[in-house]
């Protein structure tokens, strides 16, 4: 997780007081992104295509009806044969055939199983993409709030240091402090102004990233409450991931699809049979007045006895694909477990760090106020106040990052468990 994305809510109570009624919530931002995100839309399109392939596989087991026909017009000259000389004729032919597969060596059933498992995998990938998008939106959302809060803190520090530098000039002019103290105050002010410019740039970048992910500008955002962990213990998280992780379930479905594909390839070695019912009518086909109407019912068989090794090659390919799917499932199990453990530990650390950061920020603020009072009465040099201001800003910024990590880590863990 990048440091920029780990920035978070900061001192959100001050922000909440002035929010307009139309402020966007994190839930609304997630819903908006899920409607407009192109990656999620692509994933849904792939699931729709998989559904269509399943319908095609089912169709292979159903009867098919084919209608063929032709019609021409012209003249025949049979030279007196059969008593016909030159005649104008209109040859026509129409045929209707119904074909119902009755045996395919298990190939049709395997094709249906393969398509069904592939559709399940595609749907699961949609769920995984949706969960991942929720976590990405949470990061972008928190990033904007955090960048704005850091910028607000930077603005406050610049104002405070501007006042410190002004007082330092007055005291230097009165001979109360040496030039070194004045130079240090002016240097710290310049440093704070540079930080202020950097913070403004971070806000612009965060807002641009938010619009890219969500599809809307972050005009006003509600500070989200830190979400609870989706499960109480690490063991529960690992168990939940085994049951509901979209990545893991999709890998299992892909393995089932590969196994069915192997069965379908092996079925090519077996004979196939179909029941056929046909009817046809023919007119003027060979000589004027010719007529032939027919109806037939039969069984048609097919068995490939030799194909130059093509069937064996397809079976070998399908068997290798199944092994690859097995390896992918093993890798997914290990990756998901590692990711869940990592996300769980991040969430625990984030909560502990946030509590400590809040205590540190409160202490740093108290220390800064005390030093400011002591500097005003001449008990401490200006440098001590400058250091206290810097420490207070660092503590407040750390609190922003820590509170943001609480939100982001919870959404990240929920995404891994398929719960977003």
DSSP 404-420: HHHHHHHHHHHHHTT--
Query: What DSSP character marks residue 84?
Result: -
pTM reported for the whole predicted model = 0.78
The predicted pLDDT at position 10 comes to: 39
The predicted pLDDT at position 254 comes to: 97
The predicted pLDDT at position 161 comes to: 85
The predicted pLDDT at position 110 comes to: 97
Query: What domains sit in the chain, N to C, each tagged with a CATH number?
Result: 3-416 (1.20.1600.10)
- The CA distance from 34 to 43, in Å, is 11
CB atoms within 10 A of CB 85: 10
Range list of H helices, 37-106: 38-59
CA atoms 166, 172, 177, 180: torsion sign: positive
- The CA distance from 326 to 338, in Å, is 19
Enter the tokens of residue 279. Answer: 């009817």
Per-residue model confidence as pLDDT tens digits over 144-162: 999 998 898 889 889 888 9
The secondary structure element, H or E, covering residue 324 is helix 310-376
Q: Which residues of the chain have pLDDT under 50?
A: 1-21
Beta strands per DSSP E along 206-341: 272-283, 291-302
Residue pair 321/261 in contact (Cβ under 8 Å)? The answer is: yes
Enter the tokens of residue 242. Answer: 């085994």
The secondary structure element, H or E, covering residue 192 is helix 179-214
């Amino acid at each position: 997780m990048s440091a920029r994305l780990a920035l978070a809510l900061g001192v959100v109570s001050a922000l909440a007081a002035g929010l307009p009624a139309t402020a966007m919530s994190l839930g609304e931002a997630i819903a908006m992104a899920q409607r407009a995100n192109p990656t999620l839309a692509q994933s849904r399109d792939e699931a729709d295509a998989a559904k269509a392939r399943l319908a095609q596989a089912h169709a292979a087991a159903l009867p098919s009806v084919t209608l063929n026909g032709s019609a021409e017009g012209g003249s025949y000259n049979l030279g007196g044969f059969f008593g016909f000389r030159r005649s104008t004729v209109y040859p026509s032919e129409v045929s209707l055939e119904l074909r119902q597969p009755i045996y395919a060596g298990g190939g049709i059933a395997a094709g249906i199983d393969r398509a069904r498992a592939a559709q399940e995998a595609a749907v699961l990938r949609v769920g995984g993409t949706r969960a991942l998008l929720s976590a990405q939106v949470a990061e972008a959302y928190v990033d904007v709030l955090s960048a704005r809060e850091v910028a607000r803190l930077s603005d406050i520090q610049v104002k405070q240091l501007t006042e410190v530098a002004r007082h330092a000039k007055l005291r230097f002019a009165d001979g109360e402090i040496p030039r070194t103290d004045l130079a240090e105050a002016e240097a710290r002010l310049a440093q704070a102004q540079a930080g202020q410019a950097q913070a403004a740039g971070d806000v612009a970048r965060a807002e641009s990233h938010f619009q890219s992910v969500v599809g809307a500008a972050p005009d006003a955002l509600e500070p989200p409450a830190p979400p609870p962990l989706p499960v109480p213990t690490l063991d529960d998280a690992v168990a939940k991931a085994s049951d509901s992780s979209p990545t893991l379930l999709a890998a299992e479905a892909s393995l089932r699809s590969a196994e069915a594909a192997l069965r379908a390839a092996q079925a090519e070695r077996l004979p196939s049979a179909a029941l056929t019912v046909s009817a046809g009518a023919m007119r003027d086909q060979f000589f004027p007045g010719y007529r032939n109407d027919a109806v037939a019912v039969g069984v048609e068989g097919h068995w490939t006895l030799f194909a130059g090794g093509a069937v064996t090659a397809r079976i070998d390919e399908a068997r290798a694909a199944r092994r690859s799917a097995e390896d992918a499932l093993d890798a997914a199990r290990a990756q998901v477990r590692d990711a869940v453990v990592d996300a769980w530990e991040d969430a625990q650390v984030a909560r502990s760090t946030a509590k400590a950061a809040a205590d540190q920020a409160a202490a740093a603020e108290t220390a800064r106020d005390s030093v400011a009072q002591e500097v005003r009465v001449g008990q401490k040099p200006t440098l001590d106040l400058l250091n206290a201001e810097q420490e207070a800003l660092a503590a407040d910024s750390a609190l922003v990052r820590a509170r943001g990590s609480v939100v982001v880590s919870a959404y990240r863990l929920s995404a891994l468990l398929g719960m977003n």
